[in-house]
Structure 1
Amino acid sequence: MTFISNIERYYLQRHIDERKQGWLDEGSAKGAADVLQTLLQQKFGRLPDWASDRIHQANTSTLQRWALNVLSAETLQGVFEQ
């Protein structure tokens, strides 16, 4: 049996927690991107490649802001400008 010191255990747990957080952030951004894309397609029809690219490169807070912009934007470009 291998001995793990308290310091090693601490850093191992910290690494595991950081990895979990990364996975959660990625999943959250992907879910937000999917929702935004669905909203935009419903309101404006098929999305051009530039819009899909911007959506999939954005972080979660930007995606949430754009999703709120869908409510008041009159054009697809207006969603991303505000």
Structure 2
Amino acid sequence: MERIGIEKGLEQGRGEGRHEGLRQALSSLLERRFGPLPPAARERVQTASADTLQIWLLRVLDAARLDDVFED
């Protein structure tokens, strides 16, 4: 049982690491493209799901303005 708990913990840690990596990548790309991010944009990046972050990462390529990345 202990081994299963350790494996679950490791998998959870890897998932959280991937999620944080997506946040950092998106923040870096947004700042490079649009300059310093307003607090509201930073908050959206920090609270978004991994799936949403991946969608936004792709939108950065075509976005003319910061709001284009976050539109629904």
* TM-score computed with the length of structure 2 as normaliser: 0.91
Q: 1:62 aligns with which of 38, 44, 52?
A: 52
Taking the aligned partners of 1:18 and 1:76, their CA distance within structure 2 comes to: 37
Larger radius of gyration: 1
Larger relative contact order (C-alpha < 8 A, sep ≥ 6)?
A: 2
Taking the aligned partners of 2:57 and 2:12, their CA distance within structure 1 comes to: 23
* Poorly superposed stretches of 4+, deviation over 4 Å: none
CA positional deviation for 1:27: 0.7
* TM-score computed with the length of structure 1 as normaliser: 0.81
Taking the aligned partners of 1:23 and 1:40, their CA distance within structure 2 comes to: 26
Equivalence for 2:30: 40
Identity between Structure 1 and Structure 2 (%): 36
Q: Which amino acid aligns with 2:52?
A: T
Q: Unaligned regions of 5+ residues in structure 1, if any? A: 1-10
